[in-house]
């Protein structure tokens, strides 16, 4: 088994790499001890608990950004990475940021509550209510003595004083603040006096802003049916209330600006709309005037056409009445002439009646004669057709068919016997000529093994050729050793 031998430098380098890779970012809680601040600006100390302690280094660039001033005996939570100081082989923590232990617990509690409420869907964007574009009344939930309420009121007065403001007083700091905030939110939701709510306060530490991170306040915001804007702390402060609210504003002033339109902008927009409206009215009036002139011109032309048509109509009516009188007189004269030429209806009717009677009598006699002639013709044709009835023909054909069938069945055995005799004679003749009969008597046919050509002469083969001898039950492959030709050849 081969065992590697490390140099001290190689071992410390590999251990350092393993530590920095495995523990790139961790949090460690403990008490500061042995703090030193050399002229380089770096801070060196150890962090300990009841059983162990670790060396730590807080480099100048990171320490300068930290809001916490370190001191011996301080309970802190370090964000650090694990490393190894190669020159001495010391295991140490390189600190990146520091929070006091109390604030660290609050931060941990904040992250746990944030994760739990997020999994329940309290932060989902699809459950948030849209803000009204132009609220008539805005409710403010905050302390009446804080700076936030004055900032909100002054912003509304400056931007759009027409919006009514209604304040719901609440505590924003201290142990009773969360209960006071919940009561104010529920009261505003119950009364429904406002179009939108602002929940806000000024900046402060995490402990100061903690009432806005309470679960009860978050659930009250979530169940509130009025759109709510959260404006807690400064722009960098994020609270649970900001995440649950329908909209988050960076500051209370920003929330007021979000809900109030700028009066000056509205005046400018109104002036622009007024100018556009006046221009549109002018263009519409001009277009309507042109259309009216066009319609009046067309009406004048139409009126002229009506007058002309009216004149033509009156002339036509006058001519019609004048011509109609002449035509009526002519028709009356023609009618009187025709009336004198018409015979008396009763005399004409009598003549037509007598003529009809004579025609009816002649028709009856003719019909009787036709019926008698038709009956005689039918009797003669019926007698002639009786000899040609299909039943008689069918009976005659049936007798003939029965005799023919009987003779046919009698001929079949004789025909079969003759055909069988002919077949046996032909089979016997074929067997006599079949080469298989010859082979069965001990003869064989010879043929070349490669080309399968029948050998009928010794001239077709040579010595050492292989030929195939076909017998009745198989064939033999034979090799020629000697060729004997007849003396006559």
Q: What mean pLDDT comes out for the span 467-488? A: 82
Question: What is the rounded distance in angstroms from the CA atom of residue 277 to the CA atom of residue 176?
Answer: 56
**Structure-model confidence comparison of residues 184 and 265, the more confident one:** 184
Same domain for 164 and 50: no
Of residues 359 and 348, more confidence is placed in 359
Residue 98 and residue 29 in one domain: yes
**Residue 456 included in any domain:** yes
Same domain for 160 and 216?
yes
Shared-domain flag, residues 204 and 279:
no
Q: Phi, psi at residue 331, to the nearest 5°?
A: -65, -40
Are residues 249 and 158 both part of a single domain? yes
pLDDT in tens, 247-286: 999 899 999 998 888 777 777 777 778 878 877 887 777 6
- Give the domain-ending residue among 284, 303, 325: 325
The rounded distance, in Å, linking the Cα atoms of 223 and 408 is: 111
> Is residue 1 predicted with pLDDT exceeding 60?
no
CATH number at residue 49: 2.40.50.140
Asked if pLDDT for residue 60 goes beyond 80, the answer is: yes
5-30: average pLDDT? 86
Compute the CA torsion angle 392, 397, 403, 406 (nearest 10 deg): -120
Q: How far apart are CA 15 and CA 312, in angstroms?
A: 122
* Residues 301, 232 share a domain: no
- List the strands of the sheet with 228-232, edge to edge: 164-169, 137-142, 196-201, 228-232, 247-248
pLDDT of residue 139: 95
End-to-end CA distance of the chain: 99
pLDDT for 488: 65
Do 74 and 160 lie in one domain? The reply is: no
Of 325, 340, 363, the last residue of a domain is 325
Tell me which DSSP letter residue 139 carries.
E
Q: Is 75 in the same domain as 155? A: no
Residue 28 domain-assigned (yes or no): yes
pLDDT tens across 232-244, in order?
977 777 889 999 9
CB 44 within 8 A of CB 53: no
Confidence band for 105, pLDDT divided at 50, 70 and 90:
low
**Is the Cβ–Cβ distance between 95 and 193 less than 8 Å?**
no
**Which residues, in sequence order, are bridge partners of residue 98?**
78
Q: In this structure, are 23 and 73 located in the same domain?
A: yes
305 assigned to some structural domain: yes
| pLDDT of 103 | 59
Q: Is residue 295 part of a domain?
A: yes
| Residue 341 pLDDT | 66
Classify 84 as helix, strand or coil: strand
pLDDT > 70 fraction of the chain, expressed in percent and rounded? 93
Residue 296's pLDDT is: 79
Is it the case that residue 199 has pLDDT exceeding 90? Answer: yes
The whole-number pLDDT of residue 175 equals 85
Instruction: Determine the pLDDT at residue 216.
Output: 93
Q: Which two tokens stand for residue 98?
A: 């520091």
Q: What is the pLDDT of residues 411-464, one digit of tens each?
A: 888 888 888 888 888 888 887 777 666 777 778 888 887 767 888 888 778 888
Q: Is 356 left (phi over 0), alpha (psi -120 to 50) or beta?
A: alpha
Kindly report the length of the chain.
489
Confidence band for 179, pLDDT divided at 50, 70 and 90: very high
What pLDDT score was predicted for residue 94? 92
Please compute, for residue 331, the number of CA atoms within 13 A of its CA located in the half-sphere on the CB side: 6
Residue 216 belongs to a domain:
yes
In which band, very low, low, confident or very high, does the pLDDT at 323 lie, cut at 50, 70 and 90?
confident
230 and 321 assigned to the same domain: no
CATH, residue 236: 3.40.50.10550
For the ranges 91-100, 346-355, 457-466, the lowest mean pLDDT is seen at 346-355
Residue 150 located in a structural domain: yes
- Statement to judge: residues 146 and 225 lie in one domain: yes
One domain, residues 257 and 141 = yes
Q: Which pLDDT score, from 0 to 100, does residue 135 have?
A: 92
Structural contact between residues 70 and 43, judged by C-beta atoms closer than 8 angstroms: yes
Q: What is the DSSP letter of 24?
A: S
pLDDT of residue 386: 67
Residues 149 and 143: their CA atoms lie apart, in Å, by 7
Within a domain: residue 3?
Answer: no
Token pair belonging to 7: 């140099």
Of 325, 347, 371, which residue constitutes the final position of a domain?
A: 325
**What's the confidence (pLDDT) of residue 188?**
93
Structural domain containing residue 179:
135-261
% of the chain with per-residue pLDDT over 90: 24
Position 483 in a domain = yes
Q: Is the pLDDT of residue 308 over 70?
A: yes
Q: Which stretch of 71-75, 390-394, 435-439 has the lowest confidence by average pLDDT?
A: 435-439
User: Is residue 370's pLDDT more than 90?
Assistant: no
Mean pLDDT of the chain: 84
- DSSP strand pairing (466-471 vs 474-479): antiparallel
Residue 391, pLDDT > 80, answer no
- The residues, any chain, with a CB within 8 Å of residue 255's CB and separated by 6 or more, are 152, 198, 200, 229, 230, 231, 249
pLDDT of residue 104: 58
If one counts the domains in the chain, the total is 4
């Amino acid at each position: 088994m081969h065992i590697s031998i490390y140099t001290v430098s190689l071992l410390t380098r590999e251990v350092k790499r393993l530590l920095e890779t495995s523990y790139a970012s961790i949090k460690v809680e403990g008490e500061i001890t042995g703090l030193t601040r050399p002229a380089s600006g770096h801070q060196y100390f150890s962090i300990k608990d009841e059983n162990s302690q670790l060396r730590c280094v807080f480099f100048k660039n990171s320490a300068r950004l930290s809001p916490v001033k370190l001191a011996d005996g301080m309970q802190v939570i370090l964000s650090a990475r694990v490393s190894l100081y190669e020159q001495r082989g010391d295991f140490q923590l390189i600190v990146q940021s520091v929070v006091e232990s109390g604030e660290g617990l609050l931060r941990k509690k904040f992250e746990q509550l944030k994760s739990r409420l997020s999994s329940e869907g309290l932060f989902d964007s699809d459950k948030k209510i849209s803000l009204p574009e132009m609220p008539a009344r805005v409710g403010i939930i905050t302390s009446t003595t804080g700076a936030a309420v004055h900032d909100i009121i002054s912003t509304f007065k400056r931007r759009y004083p027409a919006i009514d403001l209604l304040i719901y007083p609440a505590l924003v700091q201290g142990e009773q603040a969360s209960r006071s905030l919940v009561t104010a939110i529920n009261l505003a939701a119950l009364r429904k006096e406002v179009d939108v709510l602002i929940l806000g306060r000024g900046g402060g530490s995490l402990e100061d802003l903690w009432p806005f991170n309470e679960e009860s306040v978050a659930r009250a915001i979530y169940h509130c049916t009025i759109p709510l804007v959260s404006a807690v702390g400064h722009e960098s402060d994020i609270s649970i209330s900001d995440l649950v609210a329908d909209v988050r504003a960076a500051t209370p002033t920003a929330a007021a600006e979000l809900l109030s339109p700028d009066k000056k902008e509205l005046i400018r927009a109104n002036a622009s709309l007024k100018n556009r409206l006046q221009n549109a009215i002018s263009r519409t009036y001009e277009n309507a005037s042109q259309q009216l002139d066009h319609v009046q011109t067309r009406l004048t032309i139409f009126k002229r056409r009506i007058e002309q048509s009216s004149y033509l109509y009156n002339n036509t009516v006058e001519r019609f009445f004048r011509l109609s009188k002449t035509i009526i007189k002519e028709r009356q004269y023609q009618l009187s002439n025709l009336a004198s030429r018409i015979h008396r209806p009763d005399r004409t009717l009598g003549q037509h009646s007598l003529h009809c009677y004579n025609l009816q009598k002649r028709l009856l006699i003719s019909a009787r004669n036709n019926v008698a002639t038709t009956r005689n013709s039918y009797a003669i044709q019926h007698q002639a057709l009786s000899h040609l009835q299909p039943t008689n023909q069918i009976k005659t054909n049936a007798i003939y068919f029965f005799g023919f069938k009987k003779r046919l069945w009698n001929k079949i055995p004789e025909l079969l016997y003759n055909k069988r005799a002919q077949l046996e004679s032909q089979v016997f003749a074929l067997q006599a000529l079949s080469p298989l009969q010859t082979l069965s008597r001990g003869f064989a046919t010879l043929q070349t093994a490669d080309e399968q050509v029948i050998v009928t002469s010794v001239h077709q083969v040579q010595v050492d050729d292989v030929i195939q001898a076909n017998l009745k039950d198989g064939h033999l492959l034979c090799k020629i050793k000697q060729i004997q030709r007849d003396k006559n050849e």
